[in-house]
C-alpha cells in the first residue's frame, strides 16, 4: 500500500508547520495565561488568509480543495504549537463542510466564502445540550414553522468560538411527535440574529484562548430559507459530520502528544542526574519508545480514516478508532512527558503543564472515548 504524501499535502503540512512555529508557538503560553482575544483572532485571521479554514471546501466557494488528509496534517501541526487555535480551526472547517454537504447553492455561495476567507473568523457547531451530550438525539431545542419563518427556542452548551463565530449550524426538533432522532432539522443562523444570545465564555481547565459558550434561543426567528437539507432529516447530517470532526480532534490530540514528547526528549538530553544525562537511563528510553510508537500508530489510524473519507468510502468506524486511540494515547504521552521532566513538568514555566490541561478534553469532545467504543463495538457486532 502506497502511503506517501502527495506534493500538495506535503506543501500544506510544511506551511502549517512553519506558521505554527513562527506565529503560534511563541505566544501559546501568553494566550493560555491572558486569553488575549485580539491576538488570538489575529492568528485565526492569518490562518484563514493562508487557506486553512476551508481545506476540504471546493475552490468555487473559496476553499482550497486540499482534502481530508491535508486537513488532518494541518491540524496536527497547528496543535503542536497551540491547541486553542487548532480546535477553532478544526470546528470551523467542520461547519464549512456541513454547509457544503447539505446546504443549497444559495447557502453555499453566501456563507462558505465568508468562512474560508476569514470574514467570518469562525463557525459554530450547535448540537450539544445539557441533557443531550453523548445522546444528542435527546435534544430539547425546538424550531416551529410559522409562515415563512421558523421560531427557535432552547439552549446549546459547550459551543466552540461562540464569542466570535459569524454563523452557526443549529440542530433543533421540528417534529416533536416523531421517533427519537427522526424529527430533527438543521439550520444556519447568522450571528446577531434577534433572539439568539451568546453566554459568557466558560472558565475551562485548558485550551483557554478558545472561547466556549452557551448559545440561547428565545423566540429566535429565522427565515425558512435557513433550513439546510430536508426538514426532519437533520440528525443523520449531525452524525455524519461528527464522524468527520473526530478526525480533526484525533489529529489535534496527536499534535499535542508529539509536542510534549519532543520537548521532554530534548529536556532529557540536557538534564543530568547521577553524573549523566537522564536520556541515558533505560527507564526513560523505554518510556519514549513506547509513547512515540503509540503516536505513530495514531497517525496511521488517522491517515486511514482521512483517506477513506477523502475517497467517499465508509469511514465512521475508522474515525472512531482513530479518535479513540489518538486521544487516549496522547493523554498518556503528555503525562509521561511531564513525568520525564520531574518537578519541572509541574511548573508553568515549562509547557508540559499547559499541554496536560489542553490534551485532557480530547478524550471527551466530539464524542467521549466511551462513546467511540460503543460505535466501534456496534459495528463489530452488526
> Which residues are annotated as catalytic?
366
Residue 76 to residues 38, 86, 184, 242, Cα–Cα distance (Å): 24, 8, 33, 18
Name the residue among 252, 245, 253, 302 with its Cα closest to residue 128.
Answer: 245
- Enumerate the H helices of the chain as residue ranges: 7-19, 28-34, 37-49, 68-81, 83-102, 105-117, 234-270, 282-310, 316-341, 352-360, 369-380
**Burial zone of 343 (CB within 10 Å; 0-12 exposed, 13-18 middle, 19+ buried):** exposed
83-86-89 Cα angle (round to 5): 155
Terminal-to-terminal C-alpha distance of the chain: 28
Element (H, E) at 119: none
Residue 101 to residues 1, 105, 112, 300, 355, Cα–Cα distance (Å): 30, 10, 11, 26, 34
Residue pair 81/20 in contact (Cβ under 8 Å)? The answer is yes
Name the residue among 376, 18, 21, 72 with its Cα closest to residue 254.
Answer: 72
Q: Which residue has the cell 431545542?
A: 141
Task: Please compute, for residue 290, the number of CA atoms within 13 A of its CA located in the half-sphere on the CB side.
Answer: 12
CB atoms under 10 Å from CB of 170, counted, come to 28
C-alpha cell of residue 163: 464569542
Q: Which residue has the cell 411527535?
A: 177
Per the document, the length of the chain is: 382
Residue pair 181/137 in contact (Cβ under 8 Å)? The answer is yes
Amino acid at each position: 500500500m502506497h502511503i506517501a504524501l502527495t506534493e500538495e499535502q506535503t506543501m500544506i503540512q510544511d506551511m502549517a508547520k512553519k506558521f505554527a512555529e513562527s506565529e503560534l508557538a511563541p505566544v501559546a503560553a501568553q494566550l493560555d495565561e491572558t486569553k488575549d482575544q485580539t491576538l488570538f483572532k489575529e492568528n485565526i485571521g492569518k490562518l484563514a488568509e493562508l487557506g486553512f479554514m476551508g481545506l476540504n471546501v471546493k475552490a468555487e466557494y473559496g476553499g482550497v480543495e486540499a482534502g481530508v488528509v491535508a486537513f488532518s496534517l494541518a491540524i496536527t501541526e497547528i496543535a503542536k504549537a497551540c491547541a486553542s487555535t487548532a480546535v477553532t480551526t478544526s470546528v470551523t472547517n467542520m461547519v464549512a463542510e456541513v454547509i457544503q454537504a447539505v446546504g443549497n447553492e444559495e447557502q453555499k455561495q453566501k456563507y462558505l466564502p465568508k468562512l474560508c476567507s476569514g470574514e467570518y473568523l469562525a463557525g459554530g457547531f450547535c448540537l450539544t445540550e445539557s441533557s443531550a451530550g453523548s445522546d444528542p438525539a435527546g435534544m430539547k431545542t425546538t424550531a416551529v414553522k410559522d409562515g415563512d419563518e421558523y421560531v427557535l427556542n432552547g439552549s446549546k452548551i459547550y459551543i466552540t468560538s461562540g464569542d466570535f463565530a459569524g454563523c452557526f449550524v443549529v440542530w433543533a426538533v421540528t417534529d416533536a411527535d416523531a421517533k427519537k432522532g427522526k424529527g430533527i432539522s438543521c439550520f444556519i443562523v447568522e450571528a446577531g440574529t434577534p433572539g439568539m444570545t451568546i453566554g459568557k465564555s466558560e472558565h475551562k481547565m485548558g485550551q483557554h484562548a478558545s472561547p466556549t459558550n452557551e448559545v440561547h434561543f428565545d423566540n429566535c426567528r429565522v427565515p425558512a430559507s435557513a433550513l439546510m437539507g430536508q426538514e426532519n432529516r437533520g440528525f443523520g447530517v449531525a452524525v455524519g459530520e461528527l464522524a468527520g470532526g473526530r478526525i480533526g480532534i484525533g489529529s489535534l490530540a496527536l499534535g499535542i502528544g508529539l509536542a510534549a514528547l519532543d520537548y521532554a526528549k530534548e529536556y532529557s538530553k540536557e538534564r543530568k542526574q547521577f553524573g549523566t544525562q537522564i536520556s541515558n537511563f533505560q527507564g526513560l528510553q523505554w518510556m519514549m519508545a513506547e509513547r512515540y510508537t503509540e503516536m505513530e500508530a495514531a497517525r496511521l489510524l488517522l491517515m486511514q480514516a482521512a483517506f477513506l473519507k477523502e475517497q467517499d468510502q465508509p469511514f465512521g468506524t475508522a474515525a472512531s478508532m482513530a479518535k479513540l486511540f489518538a486521544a487516549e494515547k496522547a493523554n498518556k504521552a503528555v503525562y509521561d512527558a511531564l513525568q520525564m521532566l520531574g518537578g519541572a513538568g509541574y511548573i508553568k514555566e515549562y509547557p508540559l503543564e499547559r499541554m496536560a490541561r489542553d490534551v485532557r478534553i480530547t478524550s471527551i469532545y466530539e464524542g467521549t472515548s466511551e462513546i467511540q467504543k460503543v460505535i466501534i463495538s456496534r459495528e463489530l457486532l452488526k
